[in-house]
Structure formats: structure tokens, C-alpha cells
Structure 1
Amino acid sequence: MRNILKATTLESKLPLLAVEHGCIISKDADITVCYEVTLPELFTVTSQEYEAMHAAWCKAIKVLPRFTVAHKQDWFVSENYKPELQKDDLSFLDRSFERHFNERPYLAHKCYLYLTKTTKERMRQQSNFSTLCCGRITPKELNHDMIVGFMEAVGQFERIINDTGYISLRSMGDDEIVGTDSTSGIIERYLLLSTDDVTCLEDIDLSPKEMRVGDKMLCLHTLSDTDDLPGKVSTDNRYERLSTDRSDCRLSFASPVGLLLPCNHIYNQYVFIDDHDENLAKFEKTARNMNSLSRYSRSNAINKEWIDRYLNEAHSYGLTSVRCHCNIMAWSDDAEELRRIKNDVGGQLATMGCMPRHNTIDCPTLYWAAMPGNEADFPAEESFYTFIEPAVCFFTAETNYRSSLSPFGIKMVDRLTGKPVHLDISDEPMKRGITTNRNKFILGPSGSGKSFFTNHLVRQYYEQGAHILLIDTGNSYEGLCNLIHNRTHGEDGVYYTYTEEKPISFNPFFTEDGVFDVEKKDSIKTLLLTLWKSEDDRVSKTESGELGSALSMFLEKMKKDRDIVPCFNSFYEFMRDEYRAEMAQRPIPIYKQDFDIDNFLTTLRQYYHGGRFDFLLNSRENIDLLNKRFVVFEIDAIRDNKDLFPVVTIIIMEAFINKMRRLKGVRKVLICEEAWKALSTANMAEYMRYMFKTVRKYFGEAVVVTQEVDDIISSPIVKETIINNSDCKILLDQRKYMNRFDQIQELLGLTDKEKAQILSINLSNNPNRLYKEVWIGLGGTQSAVYATEVSPEEYLAYTTEETEKMQVLARARQLGGDIEAAIKQLANERREN
């Protein structure tokens, strides 16, 4: 039966002939080279960096030969987050996090670049000569010399772009272009407007008023006439929603039709490189004609003036005459939604200063011309004359946040779409040379979510095998610690807190294997000096040396005599009896002004048997922290005790150093909340410096968390030791310190770019989601703002609100002490409400 429908097969109309060596060959002997483009992340680019990228694009396009089309194609497709629930090692909180984000919609972005070499005749053809209108396409023969010259120019183009450091081009292989048996290529994906690997063939209805691809209805907005363009274009614009009077957030000029347009769409950007000299000669002739006809119409005189200005610009600044076209191709399978999309696209074009033009005539032709490899089929009447520099301003220049490739890291959330992002802020930056250590400095005022973020960080580090030791002064980690203790049946999640009935006690003179290396001896000596000397007292070399000698003699004696109980009481008695007698018998006397042993014994008497603090250094339990993977020391009750606070803190630090030295190949993390103040005295400066510089060598990291700006500004120890040795800086909402932020910027060595990012925190949060933003900077070269959004289960485990913590504990008591079950019940109730 004869086919009487106005339909034809795609095979008979397809203008592409072959794909070889990553190039698409058309039946009209056009050759197209395909690249996948990687752009910098959204909200992380400064105005200077946008200008650098713009200059690179302009420089690269200038090396392309005449009659070349540069076609940049950006895909923005709505997708839903697919949780990683199939993993076997997911914890209770990990699984709740993945379920919380299940089916979370976001806009996925892919960017491609197609460079097509064609002929003068093809560059000038109009829509009525499109291959859609041809009955049968006869393949033409390729010009070998033309191909060689074009490929050399393309190589230069690629090198120029990749040398920027901001954009990277990757040549696409044949399988990526045409697909394989199991995956679809970019040509097939474009024809079906789908990013799925497995696609089914669908009809294409090329009706201009309502073009369809399967069930998808298309709408097309074009920028093809100078009358529709703004009076001025730029590389970037200020994004007001994330800017303040003290900082600028910059986005590319075309960003409103990129990631900020929340619908399925493709943004096509074309630059057509004609014969520059021929173009100018044609304009000279047109200007003369306009001038001769100016007396008959004022518009002729105005047009003549505009052409003269164009020619003057070209000759004065050596600009290259090109043609340009941009279009936004959006689609939906719902007519009501398509009307909304039309309005959204028009609104975003208006924010760029452009006149929204909904094209209902050339939609099929422009759709066909945007097919990878068919750029030479573009209708010439849909383009406008300009120069390379303003044409490139219409290129989008940013993409979504990317996840780290490292298997280790934490889950944060994209601040724009709410999609989970895997982020490695410890190992990957060191491997790439961005940082030289894993240490972190966290700064955030009260209520900014500082402890909540730190809970989120340490929970994920712990579940990936790290040993966590926390020094806390506000019960911020009690909920998480109790959950871990409950899940591990007491193996981990050890929570030490100071009470009058059961004070914290230690034994610095005890080791399981009886080995006291140099570092262990130094830490005990530092402890003794801290107990003896006040903050203002200077420690002389003689005092340090004598104390070190006494300690070595005692440890040697303890090794020989197994009856000696290793504790501070035994050391005190050794100093009082044997060492004092040994000093008296020396041929060279030791004077009191050099080493006053009586003053030492009198000052430390309160830590000896019968003294006020005799419990502190004489623990009989000999707490084994070496194999406990999550330990919290809550010392809020003694934070204002000038005698106990420094001692307890330094002993905990010594316990961490013991972990650091002995646990080979295991990640160790020490987190110091406000307890670092006790370590910032003159006596402790060397200890802190050693700690922060050495921990890197033992696969460890030290994290300091603080909220008081005055503390970090006033303490030179913090600046020289903590900040200078923390390559990862994490800041939360700093609007409370907006007027004083210049001091913080100078102290932390932040750039203006980083300052703008930090001051944009929480300025434009989505009211439909519960989260707080956090800025993470790595080595002064890489930084971004992320969102800390968690599931209800994680929130109940991390919360520092006393009423919510009491609610969890009360429900756990009802369930026989099962905290996990209590959190599950409360979280389900929250979701239902």
C-alpha cells in the first residue's frame, strides 16, 4: 500500500554521513569536531576570572579558519536524586540521609562544543535550503587539505582553552557520539531530547507552531536580531540575591537562561566566522547606498550612522566581524506547564535586558540545525552581525557543584538545588597539592549551626573508620555519642564528663607496653611544667632540663623495680626523697634561682595523695582510649577552673598523641571546641605548635572550633599556630560580624572572592527546606558555600537544643534504652506532622 501521509523516515533526511576519529562527517562534506566542556562551579567565579575565560574564548575563536561555526550547546535537564541504598555498609543515619533526599529534583547540566568547518555557500544558505527541504541528499567529497588545516586550528583552539585553568575541553570518542548497543550517543539523545542511556524511537512532528518530539512539546525563544538585544553586554553581572553592600556575588551574563532557569531546556550559542574583509567591504557598500538614500528616509541616515560606527569599531580596535545567534529550546509533555515555561524563559531573557521573542516559524529548522554535526545547516537569516567579544558574552560560564572523586568524604548539599554532593576536604586536596595538611579551623557565632555541622562531619568520619577524640564544653555531642554507644554496645561512644561525685582522672605515667618514647616524655614534662608554672612565669633551660632528667631517672627506676606503682604519687615521692638527695650530693651545686625543687614540690602538693586534686593524676582505672573510636570529653563543669581546666585539657591531648603515634594507617581526628583557650598560654605554645605541625605525618588532623571573634583576633598563639597550620577553613554565618569582618579577613588571609562567598551565606535560603549554609575554603585556592541539610533522624541525633535532647532520652527510656528506635519513632512523627 502506498504511503499517503506527509511523513518520511529519519534515515532519508539525516544529513550526517559518518563518524570517524571523534569527528562527524556530513553528507555535504562538512566536518565537525566534538568536545565535552567542563566549566567552573556556580557562585565560585569572580569578575576577573569571568574576564579571563571570556578572553580565552575570544582568543581561541580567532585561530579558527574562515567559514567555521563554533556551536556551544548547554543541556539543562530535570532529574531526580537516586539514593545509594544498595550499599551494604550504610549505617542507620547514612540510610536515613539517602532516604531523605530520595527523588529530590535538581537540574543536571552538560555542556558540549561543536566546531564545524563548512563552505562559503553553506554559510550563506537560508531556511528554504535546509536539508529538511531536500528530497535526497547526495554525499559530497571531502577536501583533504581543508581537513588538515582545520584540525591544526582545532588543536590550537583546544590548547588555548585548556590553558586557562578554568575551562577544560575533552575530545569525545566515536561511541560517545553515535552510541553503543547498550548506551545512546549525543546524536540520538539530541534527536529524542533525552539524557537516558536507553531510549526508544519516537516520532518527530516538525510543525512550526507546535513542534513535538514524542510526547514532548517544544517552545523556542531566539536572539537573532540586534533589535532584541540589550544596549550593552558584559562578561558578568552582579547577582543581587547573594550580594551585600560590602560584597558582590557575580554570575555570567547568560546565567539567567542557564542554571537559573528551572526547566528542561537546551541553550544553543553560535558564532559564525565569515570572511572578515568581505563583510567589511559589504558594509562599506551598504553604507554608501544608505547615504545616497538618506534624503528619502531618515531611517536610512540612522542605519548609515550605525554601520559607520560598526566599521569604525572594527578598524580602530582590530575587531573581527562575525555573526551570532542564541536560542533557548525548552520542552514539556504538559501543555499547562509549557505555558509556564514560556513565561519563565521570557522573564529570564528580560532580566538579561533582551526582548523575549517566541519563535513560532523557524522552530523545526533551528532544531534540525542544532543537531551535532549539522551546524552548517543553520539558516543565515536567523543570525546578526557583531564582533567576537560581544558574541562570547552570551556564553554560559558556570555549572553545578561537582562531587569529589575520592571514596572518602562527607555529604553536603548543593545550595541552589538541594542535591547531595560528596565532598572530600581531607585527602583529595592534599593529593592535588591544594593543601599541605588536613587540619581545620571552624569559626561561627552562637546559633550559626557550628556544632551541628561539626556533628555532621565527625559522624561521617567515624563511620568511615576514623578515630574521633572530642574535647567539648557545651554537651554538643552528647546525642551522637549516646547513639554510637548504644549501637556498638559500649565499644565506642565513650562520654566522659566531670562531676563532683565522679571527677575525670588520668594516669600519665601508665602505658600498656611500658614504653616511654621521646614524645611521651616530652608530653609528661610539658604537663608538669604547666602544673608548676603560672601563665606569666618563664621556664628556664635549667628548669626544663632538670625536670626532664628527673623524669628519665624515675622512668628508668620504674622499669627496673616492678613494685613501683606508675602514678603521680610515686613520681612525687621520688622527687621529694631520692632526686632531692641526688641534687645535694652533686659537685656542682644547683641554686634555688636556677631550679627550686622545694617550690616545685610545694606547688604540686595539691596533686599528691591527700591534696585537693589528688584524684586527677592517680587513676587506678588506667583509661584505655587507644582502641575507642569515638570518645567525648565534656569539661564544661571545669572550664572556669584555672587549676583543673588546663591540666585536664593537656592530658586529653596527650591521650590523642598516644593514638597518633601508635595507630598506624588509621585516620585520627582531634576536635577541640572552646578548650583550645587552655592550650593557648605561653607554656603551651610549643606543645600546640608541635601538635599542629606533626599530626599530618601520622595520618591525622586537628580541628579547632570557636565562636568568639575577639579570641582569634587577640591571641597570637592562635594566629601563628592554629590558623597558619590549618589549610581548611570553615566559616558559618558571619553577618553578626559584618562591620568587623575586615579584621577576620586579614587574620585568616581571605581573598575578596572568599569574603564575598562568606557574606552570601544564608542570604537566599529556600523557605521550603530546613538547612543552614557553610563556607569551606581549601588552601586559599578552592572555596564554595554548601548547605548542611540532614534527615529528621540525623537532626535528632545532632540537636543541641536541650528540650529536643530530653525528648529523645525520654522516648528511649520508654523503649528500654534503645536510642536508635527512639529517634526513628520521633522522626516518623515529625514527618507525619
Structure 2
Amino acid sequence: MRPIAKRSPFADKFPIWAVEHNCILSKDADITIAFKVTLPELFTITAKEYEAIHAAWHKAIKVLPDFSIVHKQDWYLKENYEPEIQKDDLSFLSRSFEKHFNERPFLAHHCYVYVTKTTKERMRRQSSFSTLTRKHLISKEIQDKEAMLKFIESVDQFERIINDSGFVSLERLTDSEIVGSATKKGLLEEYLSLTSEQDNFTLQDIHLGVDEVKVGDKILCLHTLSDTENLPNEVSTDKRFERLSTDRSDCRLSFASPVGLLLNCNHIYNQYIFIDNSDENLRKFEKSARNMHSLGKYSRSNQINKEWIENYLNEAHSKGLTSVRCHCNVLAWSDDRAELRQIKNDVGSQLALMECRPHHNTIDTATLYWAGMAGNAGDFPAEESFYTFIDPALCFFTQETNYRNSLSPFGIKMVDRLTGKPIHLDISDLPMKKGIITNRNKFILGPSGSGKSFFTNHLIRQYYEQGTHVLLVDTGNSYQGLCELVRQKTGGKDGVYFTYTEENPIAFNPFYTDDNVFDIEKRESIKTLIMTLWKRDDEPASRSEEVALSNAVNLFIKKIQKDNTTEVSFNGFYEFAKTDYKTILEEKSVREKDFDLANFLNVLEPYYKGGEYDYLLNSTEELDLLTKRFIVFEIDAIKDHKILFPIVTIIIMEVFINKMRRLTGIRKLILIEEAWKAIAKEGMAEYIKYLFKTVRKFFGEAIVVTQEVDDIIQSPIVKESIINNSDCKILLDQRKYMNKFDGIQEMLGLTEKEKAQILSINLNNHPSRLYKEVWIGLGGTQSAVYATEVSAEEYLTYTTEETEKMKVLELAKTKGGDIESAIKQLAEQRR
């Protein structure tokens, strides 16, 4: 008969006595205070910032008393993205986006710091005295309560120093977060099950054997850094990440990053710093050095050891360094033995990237796993640590986390460049509230083929779906698919697409409004329009001519507000000026040299019925663009037309300024693609200047998109008006402009950190995913690179490839104009 393995009751071995007042008390009278740590985002930290973080940890640890333990624990758990498809208000494209990322695997990161006060005796215990080797744990009483109060005060200082650094923040864990509640797992329960799944409360056996350690079905493997022989010759706060660096830029990661987010498996990275009595440690080394000197003639290794010890002592005494002990380990697991073998290899290779010698520890796995429990660092076996100083010990801390979601209801969905997980990003409201930016305007720069149109389509679509009034000025039909989809989904209520063709030329009615209200902005835009038709740029109007035109417009508006029979169009205004206003001028005896009515009517005749451009300002469609939430002006065909372009430009600006002034409390957005160059040339610079300086006051934002480097460097309009008043700058792949980038950097006021991020775009894209990366900088203080990855449905909506676009439109015709159905069918074929 096989012997039955003897099992110990969990309560007999469990080292935690109580959790009270946000403190963990062990049965050996150790006290631990636990913190949740928020680290900076990956790929956003420079070498100087890593040094500042390192210095903050150093200062914080220095305030802790002797016989304290700082245990930093980083959890990296594989999770799958859960799409938000349960929302009722999701649009067709939003739902497609969420389904595209359904079950997308990513590595979730949680970081904790446990600060423990123990005793001199506990700090020196070997693994043979672990709580696992004792039959029963007898609770001890805290003897020196005054020392404990001083320890709690020092931990408060520790917390304040870290939080004041501005890079890392600590948040003290509460009792319920440590032990859990009826509906949520606590930290201790998560560690004892090695999972953060909140829907799985099943208790699992823990097998702490000599040959194998298992938690439920999970088999553990442990790699340790506990001997100086396994450590690199040099350590540093950070190092160059070659895959995202160029000969002109550096991407930096922390020294220990290879065993952090770059290790793609379920694992916990434990980092310990044991603060002994430094003076006592140094005295012990002095004695050891003397012994080595005495034994030097018997062995050359004794002489070498003596030199190493003396170097350590010289360093400590000359620089006033604190002697501490350190230990790091990577605890990984899997429920599949084949996968576990691969994980062992992966962990070993990542440690080798740190220039460490991988040591797969099979002896103390159970003891080190048990000591890694929050509040049980005092149970750590002393022989598994090595002596060093605080500075080099801190180099083994990981200092970055993955991208975080913005805590804002408004925003756009982008993708984490490392894991491919969707993230919610607010680049408008939250940065304004925090004071990171002072306006919502955006400047977008990207060469042809960099994914610029995809990003802007993705941005605009999400803004529109969150209630924004969107007006787009385009020169290449980039938004035709999205506009058509919006028009169809809203039954023509939104999605107005203006473009010029010979068969269907662009047409407006500047005098039409739904509510018959003409505010000062509307009146001024009409006057500016007629003045542009009447006078050339080099022919300024006299004061008397301005007054006469103003009177004519105001009197005509009063007439159409009272008289329903008057034609509300430019034709109606022309006839009013020819008859009623002529009579009024004659009654006032206005001289011809002050206002030449005949000349005025003659110049405007081409826009009156029967004239060459009679269609332009006499649209028969009663269309008030104030209420339309998605409008596209495609002006490619007329951007070089000397007559049509200035008029269309004024109409566009009038439409948006009217929205800006009248739609109070509603978000407004105007996006001007390459058309801004034509606008700037035609004397419309004042509109651009006015727009970018004023739009922020009316809950609006202006976005300008360009692809030519010379445009932003040479145009004073862009430099003075657009760039200086755009706190959000968005750049796409700039490798085509590598040799010109110094000029771009100077023009946009980019820092070296931002330059390094921009030049890393698309350098290390995942081969199995189709996406382009984009850099977003806010106010010169916050920036990161994100991925624009979309579903097949979104791709077919946004595409600017002529063949793909025509295929969608042709298939839609066969389905009675149903573009959504056509997109769905083609998307399924692509998949």
C-alpha cells in the first residue's frame, strides 16, 4: 500500500496573524505596510528621468530604520481583452473595432511595494528556519512599540519622498484590498492562487515539495539572482533599447526591463533590499578581510577575496555608502510542462540580456515563494542574498509599466504598441483640466503613405460618435467613405458631402437659415462674401463703400424677415439692390463716387441668374448647415480656381464660425487637410489666425493636417498661427525626413525625448499585426507612441486606395446603395 503524503493544515503554516489599520502583522511580530505603485509608461522615460526615479528611491530607502526590508513585487499576468460590445449605443464601426480585438492577449502589470520592520535575528535566519519547517507558529508580541511607531513615521516619509518625485506614485493598500471581501479577492488570496481573476474563488492545494512546487495546477519555476558570481560586471539605471533606437536617437528602458514587460509569460519579479545595520556589516567585513590576509599565503583566492572586500570597504567609507543586502528572483509558472520548459528558456535568455548568469533554483523554490507573500519578507532565507550598496541594488528595480487608460469619459481608442491591447486615450479634455495644454487644437504631420488619413478618419469618426459637430475641408476624397456611411446611417440628417463636378457643381445659399435668425457673425460673413466678389485683393474698399454694402445687407435681411414673398438667395439680394436699395440711395442723395451702384451690380452680375456662376450662391436646397453634425467640403477641383475658391473658403469659414458662436456647450471640430495651403495663399490667413486663437473659447478645436516638411518650415502662417496655437502635436513616420528632422524639431519645439520617440515609430512593428504607429505630444510635457490598428470594416471605410474604394461603392450600388452591407461583405472576404 502506497503511503499517503502527510498534509499540514494551512492555518498552522500561514505566517500572517492579522491585518489591521492598513498594516500586516505576522506571527513573528513583523509589521508590514503595503503600497500599490504607479510607474511611468513604457518607452516614455529618458536617461535623466530614470536617474531621477532612481535617486527618489534611494532617498526614500535611506529614511527607513535598520532591520527593515523593502520588497518590490511586479506581477505580469497574461490576460485577454474583453470587448465592450454590451453597450447599446455602439455604432457599426465601434462594434467592429471591439470585435476585432476580442480575446487579444496582452500582459497586464501590477506593481506593489511592501515595507517590513523585522528584527536582527529574523534578518539572519537561514532557509532551515523558515516557517515552512516548523510544525506550529507561535505568535509573538511586539516588544518595542516605540520603535514600531518610529517605523510607521519613517514609512510615511518614504511614501512622501516617492510621491514628490513626480514620476512614481504610491497608494497605501487598505485592509480590504489586502485580505479581500465577499465579492473581491485580496492581495494575499491572489498570491496564494497566482491569479487575479475575480470570478474564480476556488481554493487550491499548494504543494511545496522538494522537487516541485505547485499552486493548484500551476507548476512553478524560479530563477534567482542571489550570488555575486551570477551578476553582471556593471549595472546602471537604464540602458539603450536597440530595437527602437537609431543612430540619431536613443530609446531607453530600465536595466531590469528584460524580466519585466519584455518577458511575455505569467511571472512575478521580486526585488528585495534588506537594510541591516551598516556599521556592523562593515565591521564584519573588516574582520573578514583580516582573516583573508592571514590565509593569503595558503590560497591565491583568499588574496583576491581580500582585495574585493577592501574595495567594498573603501567604497563604503570614502563615499559614505550604506551596506545592504539584495536579492531578485523571477517566479514563473504554467500548467503545461512543455510550455514550462519554454518559459524556463525564455526567463534564462532574458536574464542573459541583463548580462546575468541565469540560475534556475530548484532547492529553495518553496521557501522563496512563501517569503514572497505580502508581509512575510522577514521569513526570507539570508543565504539567498548578496551584499551591495543601495544604488546598485536599485538598478535591479523595473521602472516602467504598460500604457494606461485615460480616466475620462471622452476620448478615442488607440492601441498599445507593445501588446496590441486597445486603450482609451483622451487628448482633449483631461489634458485641459490638468493644465497640460491650454487649447485643444492639433497639428498633424506625416508624409504620404504614413497612415495619416487612417488616423484622421479614426479620430474624426470617434469624435462624431461622441456628439461632436465635425466639419472637414479635404483635397483628396479621404473622408468620402466615412461621410457616406454617416449619411446612410442617419437617413441624410448628417453626412453632407460638398464636391465640385461639371454635372453637379458646388452650390450654397448664404442667406438661408432654418430659424430666420441672422446674428452679427452671420451678417459679417455675408458682407465679407459679397465684398470678396466685388473687390480684388489689391483693391481695398473705401469707408463709404463698406457702409453702403453693410446697409444693403442689413436692409435686405430685415425685408426677408418680414416679407415671406421675397426670394431668400443671392438673386433676391441682387434684385433688392437693383430696385429698392437704388431708390433708398437716390433719396439719400448718395454720390456715385461714394458708392457706384452700377459698378457694384455689374461686377456681381455673373453670380445673378443667367450669369456664368449663377448656381454658386442660389442653391434651391433649403440646407442649414448649423444643424448638420458631419460635413465634408472636398475642394480639390477648385483649389486653383480664382473665382470659386475664395467664395467657397468664406462659406466654409462662415459655416464653422456660425457653429462655434451659436452651438453653446456642444463640442465643435474643424479639420483642414492640405487645403490650408490654398487658403493661406488666397488672403484667407486672417480666418486661420482668428480660428486658432478663438476656437478654444467656444468648446472647439481646429486641426490642420500636412505632409510636406517645407510647408511647415517656410510658411509664416503655419508657424505663427497654427503651430504656436496647437498644444497637441501628432506626427507619423518621419524616416523619409530623417535628414531634415532637425529643422522640424526646431520648428515644432520638440525635446530630445520627443525626437527619440518620433524616430522610433514603426521600427519594431509586430509582423502578424497590420498597423501604423503615431506619436502624440501634449503641451511639450506628455508624449507617447501609439498604434492605429483597425478592423477590416474600418479599413474599408477609411481606405484612400482608389481600387478598394471603388469596389466598396460598386458593391453598394448592387445592394441598393447600402454601403454598410457592402463593407460587411468585403470585410468578411478579407478575413
TM-score range, shorter chain: over 0.9
Are positions 1:216 and 2:212 aligned together?
A: no
SS of corresponding position for 2:85: coil
Which amino acid in the other structure matches residue 729 of structure 1? K
Stretch of structure 1 that moved more, 112-121 or 275-284: 275-284
Structure 1 residue 249: Cα displacement: 0.8
State the match for 2:778 in structure 1: 778
State the match for 2:690 in structure 1: 690
Could you list the per-position Cα deviations for residues 419-446 of structure 1 after superposition, in whole angstroms to 9, with x for gaps in the alignment? 1111112222112222222222211111
State the match for 1:155 in structure 2: 156
State the match for 1:168 in structure 2: 169
Stretch of structure 1 that moved more, 169-178 or 750-759: 750-759
SS of corresponding position for 2:484: helix
Are positions 1:812 and 2:812 aligned together?
A: yes
Structure 1 residue 613: Cα displacement: 2.1
Are positions 1:79 and 2:71 aligned together?
A: no
Mapping for residues 96-175 of structure 1, pairs under 5 Å: 96-142=96-142, 143-175=144-176
State the match for 2:366 in structure 1: 364
SS of corresponding position for 1:357: coil
Structure 1 residue 124: Cα displacement: 0.8
State the match for 1:184 in structure 2: 185
State the match for 1:393 in structure 2: 395
Is 1:276–1:321's contact at 8 Å kept on the other side of the alignment?
yes
In 2, distance between residues paired with 1:521 and 1:110? 59
1:429 to 422, 428, 431: 431
In 2, distance between residues paired with 1:540 and 1:62? 77
Stretch of structure 1 that moved more, 545-554 or 701-710: 545-554
Return 5+ residue gaps in structure 1 as ranges: none
1:150 to 1:564, Cα distance in 2 relative to 1, 3 A:
same
In 1, distance between residues paired with 2:332 and 2:694? 56
State the match for 2:495 in structure 1: 493
In 2, distance between residues paired with 1:281 and 1:698? 70
Structure 1 residue 534: Cα displacement: 4.8
In 2, distance between residues paired with 1:425 and 1:114? 34
Structure 1 residue 660: Cα displacement: 2.2
Structure 1 residue 504: Cα displacement: 1.0
State the match for 1:447 in structure 2: 449
In 2, distance between residues paired with 1:590 and 1:248? 71
1:790 to 1:214, Cα distance in 2 relative to 1, 3 A:
same
Structure 1 residue 458: Cα displacement: 1.4
Are positions 1:830 and 2:821 aligned together?
A: no
Structure 1 residue 204: Cα displacement: 1.5
1:573 to 1:818, Cα distance in 2 relative to 1, 3 A:
closer
Could you list the per-position Cα deviations for residues 386-419 of structure 1 after superposition, in whole angstroms to 9, with x for gaps in the alignment? 1111111111111111111212211111110111
Is 1:535–1:681's contact at 8 Å kept on the other side of the alignment?
no
Mapping for residues 184-583 of structure 1, pairs under 5 Å: 184-197=185-198, 198-532=200-534, 534=536, 547-548=549-550, 551-552=553-554, 554-556=556-558, 559=561, 564-572=566-574
Which amino acid in the other structure matches residue 724 of structure 1? N
Structure 1 residue 588: Cα displacement: 11
Which amino acid in the other structure matches residue 462 of structure 1? Y
SS of corresponding position for 1:184: coil
In 1, distance between residues paired with 2:539 and 2:383? 85
In 2, distance between residues paired with 1:548 and 1:636? 32
Which amino acid in the other structure matches residue 813 of structure 1? K
Seq. identity, %: 69
CA RMSD of aligned residues (A): 2.4
SS of corresponding position for 1:50: helix
Instruction: Please report the TM-score for the alignment, with normalisation by the length of structure 2.
Output: 0.95
Could you list the per-position Cα deviations for residues 356-381 of structure 1 after superposition, in whole angstroms to 9, with x for gaps in the alignment? 11111111111111111000111111
Structure 1 residue 698: Cα displacement: 2.3
Could you list the per-position Cα deviations for residues 483-538 of structure 1 after superposition, in whole angstroms to 9, with x for gaps in the alignment? 22222222222222211122111122333333322222332333344445555666
Structure 1 residue 242: Cα displacement: 0.7
In 1, distance between residues paired with 2:245 and 2:652? 43
In 2, distance between residues paired with 1:448 and 1:481? 22
In 2, distance between residues paired with 1:284 and 1:530? 91
Is 1:479–1:805's contact at 8 Å kept on the other side of the alignment?
yes
Stretch of structure 1 that moved more, 655-664 or 340-349: 655-664
Is 2:646–2:682's contact at 8 Å kept on the other side of the alignment?
no
Is 1:650–1:679's contact at 8 Å kept on the other side of the alignment?
no
Which amino acid in the other structure matches residue 136 of structure 1? H
1:599 to 1:692, Cα distance in 2 relative to 1, 3 A:
farther
Structure 1 residue 686: Cα displacement: 2.5
Could you list the per-position Cα deviations for residues 659-698 of structure 1 after superposition, in whole angstroms to 9, with x for gaps in the alignment? 2222232222222112222332473233222222222222
Which amino acid in the other structure matches residue 747 of structure 1? M
Is 2:653–2:687's contact at 8 Å kept on the other side of the alignment?
no
1:544 to 1:27, Cα distance in 2 relative to 1, 3 A:
farther
In 2, distance between residues paired with 1:620 and 1:92? 33
Could you list the per-position Cα deviations for residues 569-590 of structure 1 after superposition, in whole angstroms to 9, with x for gaps in the alignment? 4545666777789889989989
Are positions 1:620 and 2:606 aligned together?
A: no
Are positions 1:8 and 2:8 aligned together?
A: yes
In 2, distance between residues paired with 1:315 and 1:682? 74
Which amino acid in the other structure matches residue 74 of structure 2? D
SS of corresponding position for 1:680: helix
Structure 1 residue 596: Cα displacement: 8.0
State the match for 2:725 in structure 1: 725
In 1, distance between residues paired with 2:585 and 2:48? 69
Return 5+ residue gaps in structure 2 as ranges: none
1:538 to 1:219, Cα distance in 2 relative to 1, 3 A:
farther
Instruction: Please report the TM-score for the alignment, with normalisation by the length of structure 1.
Output: 0.95
In 2, distance between residues paired with 1:329 and 1:408? 39
In 2, distance between residues paired with 1:704 and 1:599? 39
Is 1:530–1:683's contact at 8 Å kept on the other side of the alignment?
no
Is 2:512–2:623's contact at 8 Å kept on the other side of the alignment?
no
State the match for 2:642 in structure 1: 642
Is 1:443–1:705's contact at 8 Å kept on the other side of the alignment?
yes
In 1, distance between residues paired with 2:32 and 2:545? 79
Stretch of structure 1 that moved more, 714-723 or 13-22: 714-723
1:505 to 1:118, Cα distance in 2 relative to 1, 3 A:
same
Is 2:513–2:624's contact at 8 Å kept on the other side of the alignment?
no
SS of corresponding position for 2:368: helix
SS of corresponding position for 1:747: helix
In 2, distance between residues paired with 1:42 and 1:548? 59
Stretch of structure 1 that moved more, 580-589 or 417-426: 580-589
Is 1:673–1:706's contact at 8 Å kept on the other side of the alignment?
yes
Structure 1 residue 327: Cα displacement: 0.4
Stretch of structure 1 that moved more, 336-345 or 201-210: 201-210
In 1, distance between residues paired with 2:320 and 2:636? 70
Stretch of structure 1 that moved more, 150-159 or 750-759: 750-759
In 2, distance between residues paired with 1:137 and 1:502? 89
SS of corresponding position for 1:245: coil
Structure 1 residue 202: Cα displacement: 1.5
Which amino acid in the other structure matches residue 306 of structure 2? K
Which amino acid in the other structure matches residue 232 of structure 1? E
1:686 to 1:279, Cα distance in 2 relative to 1, 3 A:
same
Structure 1 residue 543: Cα displacement: 6.5
Is 1:526–1:687's contact at 8 Å kept on the other side of the alignment?
no
Structure 1 residue 261: Cα displacement: 0.2
In 2, distance between residues paired with 1:204 and 1:514? 77
1:600 to 1:704, Cα distance in 2 relative to 1, 3 A:
farther
